[in-house]
Structure 1
Amino acid sequence: MKHINVTLAQLTPKLEDKDYNFDQISKAMVKANKEQSDLIVFPELFLTGYSMGDKLNELAETIDGPSVNKIKEMCKSLSLYAVFGFPELGDNGHYYITSALIDDKGELIGTYRKTHLFDQEKAFFNSGSGLKVIPTPIGNFGLMICFDVEFPEVARALKLMGADIIVIVNANMDPYKEHHYIYAKSRAMENEIPVVICNRLGLEEDLNFCGDSLVLDSWGHELLTMEGSEDVKTVTLPLLSVKDPKMNYVSSRKTDLYSVLIDK
């Protein structure tokens, strides 16, 4: 496909209330379907809220858990792709911050476990062990989660792995709004690849989640900017990576100089 219609669900989840949050997911997906969207993206850990702490063992689900299955049914009934964040209970008994990609037939076609954990996340979650590019009929999806965007190696690796688009589920908070705005644009521009980043809003304990969800084309142009408003919005995103022949970032790399990146 040369373009897809992308919907961002910049909303406020209710902490530890999966029923309420699924109701928001359901309503947003219905709206996306009415707007002829191909893909809807939700924030990081949207299913449960972010600051679960000691209740993680009650709220986390496996990849075939009840909430995931309900979203699969919604995707099938609405012929809609979805990327959403939830706390995953792995087969090994460990917990992960995970994003899931469900296709328009209701099939879970891939998950990604956050590899770069932020601050206190390390006290509750394990890091994922690999990066993911998931092929689909509407493009190859490279998945990232929040803090991952601050590591340029992740986006570059996804680009080299064949990603057509990078989709980032986010739970970014003050005072880091500008960080993710700059990094998301940089990841798009330096890799000449579209970037979709969906953040949340609301307060949890001392955390103020700052929104500013974005859809960026391969030039880093802002096709959709949501700033601080709670809303569900759709935009058409070209998937063809338009390259500047004077730049040639990927082919101009000097890989023999970069060993320090893995040796240090």
Structure 2
Amino acid sequence: MATVRIAAASASFGRDLEFDLRRIAKLIADARTAGAGLLVLPDAALGGYLADLRDPDPEALPPALAPDDPLLKQVAELAAGMVVCVGYREADGERRFNAAVCVTGDGVLGRHRKVHLPAGEAAAYDPGDRFDAFDTPVGRIGMLIDYDKTFPESARSLVLDGAEIIACLSAWPTSITNRAPRMAQDRQSRLFDLYDCARAAENQVVLASSNQTGALGGMRFLGQAKVVGPGGDILARTWSKAGLAVAELDVAAEIATARRVLKHIAERRPASYRAGSG
């Protein structure tokens, strides 16, 4: 059976695109040294996230990149034989999206535009409208960005499209309204881990969750990158520090074991659910 090493990154990124690209290059090199076949970088790794969710400054938004921007091509070149997922702010005519792209040295494997926008993001982004899985050398993958993973339908849609691995790219901050004195006590810290484990366990798939660290403007990011198995168990994690969470596993075998008795996807009863509930 084929095993793969999956790496999820915790790291800090800002508005300096050349700095961001150098940091991405270092993370790719570190993941390659660790033997990773898949690296999930944070949301907004190119250009940084918003500095303020309550009242974003329209003059200080992340730079918008076209889907074929040379920087994204450079990330693909750096990836070479590795599968790499990276987030950025995407320009499509007059519209702007919180987007992610999955690449190898051969080009683009898949794309995602964040569907669920929390309060404040509407000033900077338009919502995406779909969840699609896609084939890669390490298995069939689907991507979620930040708030997408709060909604069970998001991950379920990807798994119904055949996803074996869910890549969750985040720039997830501590609580904005009720910040705790210690990050480990923060409400959003608890929820971030809870959503990661729940989405993996309820769908019986592997989940790789990346996140930003450090601070940008009034935002303080959690880190807490991790790889979660299909039973909801955390296989590797960075806690709040920058670095890589790396886990080696046979994805197909782990999923088969999790579904040996209880098969959540096959045992659904869609006729009993309200329309649109998946």
Question: What is the TM-score of this pair, normalised by structure 1?
Answer: 0.91
What amino acid does structure 2 have at the position aligned with 1:89?
A: A
* Structure-2 residue corresponding to 1:208: 220
**Quick one: which amino acid aligns to residue 204 of structure 2?**
E
**Corresponding residue for residue 99 of structure 1:** 100
Deviations 1:24-79 (A, max 9, x none): 00111111112221111111111111126435777111111021011111122xx2
- Structure 2 distance, partners of 1:134, 1:56, is 34
Deviation at 1:184, TM superposition (A): 1.0
Task: Tell me whether 1:251 sits opposite 2:262 in the alignment.
Answer: no
Structure 1 residues 205, 253: CA separation in 2 closer, same or farther (over 3 Å shift)? same
1:27 matched to 2:26? The reply is: yes
**Residue 238 of structure 1, CA deviation:** 2.8
CA distance in structure 2 between the partners assigned to 1:149 and 1:57 by the alignment: 23
Q: Residues 224 and 124 (structure 1 numbering): CA distance in 2 closer, same or farther, change over 3 Å?
A: same
- CA deviation digits over 1:220-259, x for unaligned, max 9? 1111111111113432133121224443222222211212
Aligned equivalents of 2:32 and 2:261: distance in 1?
40
The runs of at least 4 aligned residues of structure 1 exceeding 3 Å deviation read 55-58
Residues 1:217 and 2:232 aligned together: no
Q: Secondary structure at the match of 2:50?
A: coil
Corresponding position of 1:123: 123
For 2:249 and 2:223, the matched residues in 1 are separated by: 20
Q: Could you tell me how far apart the structure 2 residues matched to 1:58 and 1:148 are?
A: 20
Report how far residue 207 of structure 1 moved.
1.4
Q: Distance in 1 between matches of 2:246 and 2:106?
A: 21
Deviations 1:102-142 (A, max 9, x none): 02x33112110000112211111001111110112320001
The one-letter amino acid of 1:237's match is L
Q: Which residue type is aligned with residue 195 of structure 1?
A: L
Quote the Cα distance in structure 1 between the aligned partners of 2:117 and 2:169: 13
TM-score when normalising by structure 2: 0.87
In structure 2, the residue corresponding to 1:177 is in which secondary structure? helix
Match for residue 70 of structure 2 among 66, 70, 83: 66
How far apart, CA to CA, are the structure 2 residues paired with 1:122 and 1:2? 42
Tell me how large the CA RMSD over aligned residues is: 1.8
Structure 1 regions of 5+ residues with no counterpart?
none
Q: Distance in 1 between matches of 2:6 and 2:58?
A: 35
Matched-pair contact (CA < 8 Å) for 2:7–2:208: no
Contact residue 223 and residue 237 of structure 1 kept, 8 A: no
Query: Within 2, Cα distance between the matches of 1:56 and 1:135?
Result: 36
Paired residues in the alignment total 257
Give 5+ residue unaligned stretches, structure 2: 52-56, 176-187
Shift, 1:4, TM fit: 1.4
Contact 1:74 1:106 in 2 (8 A): no
- 1:186 is matched with 198
Deviation at 1:261, TM superposition (A): 4.5
CA contact (8 A) 2:114 2:128 kept: yes
State the shift of 1:216 in Å.
0.5
- More displaced stretch, 126-135 vs 246-255: 246-255
Secondary structure of the residue aligned to 2:120 is: helix
Tell me the equivalent position of 1:43.
Answer: 42
Contact 1:18–1:47 (Cα < 8 Å) also in 2: yes
Higher alpha-carbon deviation: 164-173 or 4-13: 4-13
Aligned 8 A contact 2:227 2:246 in 1 = no
Q: How many Å apart are 1:204 and its aligned residue?
A: 1.7
Question: Cα 1:56–1:112, aligned 2, differ >3 Å: closer, same or farther?
Answer: farther
